[in-house]
Amino acid sequence: MKRMTRFLLIIFLFAFAETKAQKFESIHVDLYTDSLKKGTYNYINIDGRLPNGKYLPLDSNHLIFQSSYGKFYGNSLLIDRNCTVEKVTINVTMKNDPTLHKEFVMYIKKKEDNEKLPTSEEIIERMKKKG
């Protein structure tokens, strides 16, 4: 049993070392939204493309995040509720390969999120009326 445990541990360590040493060909921005919300953490999703064509999600362990406004906490950009800028320039650079970087602009959402969403009953009632 001890031998099997050691064997599995060695396999795990090699696999972990392999994932840490992977060389990415490029990085890609994969945003969940088209604008940043004020007063909240906005997750910035970055994927790395491997030589075999597969993609892996990258985080602040792999990347350096910078922005013209706000503060990054890991992959999340916090935009102050009292923000008056119209847009934010975001720059993402791979820590172990500064040639891999992306710069892009995201606009700040202007409309407040105070919209009242319909209840389930209201949706069902509308569907009944439409036929």
Residues in the chain: 131
Q: What is the average pLDDT across 42-55?
A: 95
Q: What's residue 18's pLDDT?
A: 46
pLDDT band at 5 (very low <50, low <70, confident <90, very high): low
Conformation bin of residue 63: beta by default, left when phi > 0, alpha when psi is -120 to 50: beta
Q: What's residue 17's pLDDT?
A: 46
Which structural domains are found in the chain, ordered by start? 21-111 (2.60.40.2120)
Average pLDDT, the chain: 86
Instruction: Write out 24-70 in H/E/C secondary structure.
Output: CCEEEECCCCCEECCCEEEECCEEEECCCCCEEEECCCCEEEEECCC
Across the beta sheet with 35-36, what order do the strands follow? Answer: 35-36, 97-108, 87-94, 63-67
Q: What is the average pLDDT across 60-74?
A: 97
pLDDT band at 115 (very low <50, low <70, confident <90, very high): confident
Q: Are 100 and 24 in contact (CB under 8 A)?
A: yes
Which pTM value belongs to this model?
0.70
Q: What is the average pLDDT across 50-72?
A: 96
